[in-house]
Amino acid sequence: MVVCYTGGGTLGHVYPALAVHEQMLESPSYEAFWIGRNEQRERAVVEAAGLPFFAIRSGKFRRYRSMRNL
């Protein structure tokens, strides 16, 4: 099973995901990677947990109608 972890722009989502990752390590067919912003704190925490990290460019999603969301 291959799992892709990702989240928002804060570290609040990282630690719960890493807890799941630790439990999933017991599964023999488990593989995982992380996709996130190229932001140092998130990348450092994820890579310290042993997950491959792939950075993407992303911006803020406005929760209101805006042409900038397109």
Q: pLDDT tens digits, residue range 47-67?
A: 999 999 999 987 776 678 777
Q: What is the DSSP letter of 61?
A: P
- Return the pLDDT at 57: 83
Q: How many CB atoms lie within 10 A of CB 54?
A: 13
Location of structure tokens 């593989």: 31
pLDDT at 18: 96
Tell me the chain's radius of gyration from C-alpha atoms.
Answer: 14
Q: Which residues pair with 55 in a beta bridge?
A: 36
Point out which residues pair with 35 in neighbouring strands. 54
In which residue ranges of the chain is pLDDT below 70?
A: 8-9, 61-62, 69-70
For helices 40-48 and 14-24, the axis angle rounded to 10 degrees is: 20
Q: Could you give the CA distance from residue 3 to residue 39 in angstroms, rounded to a whole number?
A: 21
